Amino acid sequence: MKVLITGASGFVGNELSQRLICEGHVIYAAARSEQTDTTGVHHVLISNAPTAMEWQSILKDIDVVFHLAARVHIMKDNSANPLAAYLQDNVQFTTELARNAAVAGVKRFVFVSSIKVNGESTNTKAFTEIDKPNPQDPYAISKLHAEESLLAVGSDTGMEVVILRPPLVYGPGVKANFRSLLQVADRMMPLPLSCIANTRSLIYVGNLVDALILCATHAAAKNQLFLVCDEISISTPQLIKNIAFALGRPCMLFPFPLSILRWGAKMTRKGAFLDRLTQSLVIDNTKIRNLLNWKPPYTMEQGLKATAEAYLQNKNEIVHK
């Protein structure tokens, strides 16, 4: 299989590239800037505004496109018009790529969206594919519009489209909030979080990559939307305990009134971050399990162990430089 990956140098893209190479596929990675050479990956430089002719040259003989590149969610977006910026990068670019992929004869287009399209949190019912979308910020809105645009392109051209909505992805090399949890656990910092009683779904990068490849190759994945996550969901306190255990550190959690935590977060403009720590977000991945017979190949324990080992290795390399 000959594939094109956008965002191949990113956290998920790099893992996807390496897995596809191991399986003997030919990988082309499209990016707007020069990339570090990666064994087995053919790097393709694209302009800021690719023309149809440029796209056709890039997409020639490609069987499957994995579209991972996106303007990612930013906690404090300083753009003059954040929604317009997200729509430009996440909708317009995606639509142009898909249209040109269809013209070039690409059979299947696999798109990584976000569970944020469903909403920010769940109460008594887990998110499913049939839920009415409820995006709450410019990033999630742009992802929903991109999904809708892709389905329209697929309907018009006959190109097969598959959409996946993952939750927070973790694994070796993870950054942002999950890396912050690694650092806190590594430093054995006491945290006032033991009273939190929530449940959150996550996905290990190896599990997401496995689902992506299955969605690119399984006949029943044609024109489907899937919500994907690990085998189990977990509370924030238990996640921190598991991270600490994977790092070989004691866990330092103590009880503290959530109402006071919320007040403090509001005063320090950390309300959104605290919401992610304290609210529930549970995914029902029954559809992909039943329709494609998919089962996450890695347990959360295995995923956290690999994540912790990579974090410690990177930390030691920095110290010894």
Please identify every residue annotated as catalytic.
Answer: 139
Report helix, strand or coil for 155. helix
Q: How many CB atoms lie within 10 A of CB 291?
A: 13
DSSP 183-194: HHHHTT--BS-T
Token pair, residue 107, equals: 């059979």
In 3-state terms, what secondary structure has residue 161? strand
Contact 144, 100 (CB under 8 A): no
Q: Is 318 buried (19+), middle (13-18) or exposed (0-12) by CB count in 10 A?
A: exposed
152 by Cβ neighbours in 10 Å (0-12 / 13-18 / 19+) ranks as middle
Q: Using CB atoms within 10 A of its CB, is residue 78 exposed (0-12), middle (13-18) or buried (19+)?
A: exposed
- The candidate with the shortest Cα–Cα distance to 27, out of 12, 8, 45, is 8
Task: Check: CB of residue 99 under 8 Å from CB of residue 91.
Answer: no
73 vs 85, 90, 128, 176, CA distance in Å?
Answer: 11, 11, 22, 11
Question: Rounded to whole angstroms, how far apart are CA atoms 175 and 168?
Answer: 11
